[in-house]
Amino acid sequence: MHPVSITIEGIDGAARATTATTANGTYRTPCFMPVGTRGAVKYLSAADYARLGAEIVLGNTYHLMLRPGAATVAAFGGLGAFTGWKGLTLTDSGGFQVFSLDPKVDDDGVTFKSTYDGSSHRFTPEIAVHTQELLGADIQMVLDVCPPLPSPPEVIRLALERTSAWAARAKVAHQRTDQALFGIVQGGISEAMRAESARRTADLDFDGYGIGGLSVGETRSEMIPALAAAIAGLPADRPRYLMGVGDPASLVEAVGLGVDQFDCVMQTRIGRHGTALTAGGKLHVKNARHALSDDPIDSTCSCEVCANHSLGYIRHLFQVGEPTASRLVSIHNLGWTLQLMERMRAAIATGTFAGLRREVLAIWG
With a cut of 90, say whether residue 207 has pLDDT above it. yes
Model confidence band, residue 97 (pLDDT cutoffs 50, 70, 90): confident
Q: What is the DSSP string of 251-311?
A: HHHHHHHT--EEE-SHHHHHHHTTEEEETTEEEETT-GGGTT--S-S-TT--SHHHHH--H
With a cut of 80, say whether residue 308 has pLDDT above it. yes
The predicted-structure confidence for 139-191, as pLDDT tens digits, reads as follows: 999 999 999 889 999 999 999 999 999 999 999 999 999 999 999 999 999 99
Domains and CATH numbers, the chain: 5-264 (3.20.20.105), 271-333 (no CATH)
263 in active site: yes
Mapped onto helix, strand or coil, the DSSP state of residue 69 is: coil
Active-site position among 48, 207, 260, 263: 263
Percentage with pLDDT > 90 across the chain: 94
Give the pLDDT score at 182.
Answer: 98
The predicted-structure confidence for 111-146, as pLDDT tens digits, reads as follows: 999 999 999 999 999 999 999 999 999 999 999 999
With a cut of 90, say whether residue 96 has pLDDT above it. no
What DSSP character marks residue 236?
T
260 in active site: no
The predicted-structure confidence for 258-271, as pLDDT tens digits, reads as follows: 999 999 999 999 99
Percentage with pLDDT > 70 across the chain: 100
Q: What is the DSSP string of 162-207?
A: HHHHHHHHHHHH---TTSEEEEEE--TT-HHHHHHHHHHHHTT--S
All residues at 6 or more sequence positions from 357 whose CB lies less than 8 Å from its CB, including other chains:
252, 253, 256
With a cut of 70, say whether residue 1 has pLDDT above it. no
Model confidence band, residue 6 (pLDDT cutoffs 50, 70, 90): very high
Mean pLDDT value of segment 195-206: 98
Active-site position among 12, 92, 207, 298: 92
**pTM for the whole thing?**
0.97
